[in-house]
Structure formats: structure tokens, C-alpha cells
Amino acid sequence: MTTDSLRPELRWAVEAAQNKKAAGVTLLDLAALAAFTDYFLICSGLSSRQVQAISDEIEEQLGRRGVVFRHREGYQSGEWVLLDYGGFVVHIFNERARLYYDLERLWRKARRTDFPDAEPGAGPR
């Protein structure tokens, strides 16, 4: 699956995360597994500031297009930010929290799509 084949709001969220150099951008398709959402978008930041910056960029890019989150958690701590958009939930972790909660293992039956990390030294997209 490429970003071109995603629903627009998911594509915008992936691209926004990549714009802020998120690591390990992964999409889990939960449509057949969960009643509360269709997708988890999971990514990591290297610091609390980067986790917050990724969250800010996703909120800004989607909000600019009229897609507003229903609920946000964890922004102040910057360890794990959750953005609930209804049809999909964005999880932005620091590296330690991502390893600890391991959502990819917990939802291992979900169809998984991994997106490439930004090239080192590459500017914003």
C-alpha cells in the first residue's frame, strides 16, 4: 500500500508525520478487528518536543482540510500522544513508550503497512 492509495485524511496524517521526521510510520488496518476505529497510525519521535511537533503538524494539516480530532491525550508529557479522529487513531510515541506498549504486537492480526522514514538531511516535504 502506498500513501496514494490511502483515504485522503490518512494520507495527510502520514505525510504530516513524515514532514516532522517521524520514525517507524506504520498503519494498522483494524476494520475487521475492532469496532471503535478502522485504523491505527503509529509513529515515533526521538524526544518529547519532536513527539509534540509531530502531533502539532498532523493537527494542523488535517485541521486545515476540515478534519478535526475528537479527542487528544498525552500532549503535555510528550511520551505518547493519542489523536482520535473517529475512523482512525494516531499514536505518536517516544521510542521507550513505543517499545513498552508495542501496539504492533498487540494488534498483530491487523494488516500492516510500513512507510519509509525521511531521508537523513532531507528538508520538509
Please determine, for residue 105, whether its predicted confidence score (pLDDT) is greater than 90. yes
**Fold that domain 3-107 belongs to in CATH:** Beta Polymerase; domain 2 (3.30.460)
Q: Is the pTM of this model over 0.85?
A: yes
Q: Based on the number of CB atoms within 10 Å of its own CB, is 82 exposed (0-12), middle (13-18) or buried (19 or more)?
A: middle
Please determine, for residue 120, whether its predicted confidence score (pLDDT) is greater than 90. no
Domain layout of the chain by residue ranges: 3-107
**pLDDT, the chain, mean:** 93
Q: What is the 3-state secondary structure (H, E, C) of the chain?
A: CCHHHCCHHHHHHHHHHHHCCCEEEEEEECCCCCCCCCEEEEEEECCHHHHHHHHHHHHHHHHHCCCCCCEEECCCCCCEEEEECCCEEEEEEEHHHHHHHCHHHHCCCCEEEECCCCCCCCCCC
Phi-psi label, residue 86: left if phi above 0, alpha if psi -120 to 50, beta otherwise: left
Q: What is the mean pLDDT of residues 100-119?
A: 93
Residue that has been written with the C-alpha cell 520538509 in this structure: 124
Could you report the per-residue pLDDT of 7-36, keeping only the tens digit for each?
999 999 999 999 999 999 999 999 999 999
Banded model confidence at residue 125, pLDDT cuts 50, 70, 90 = very low
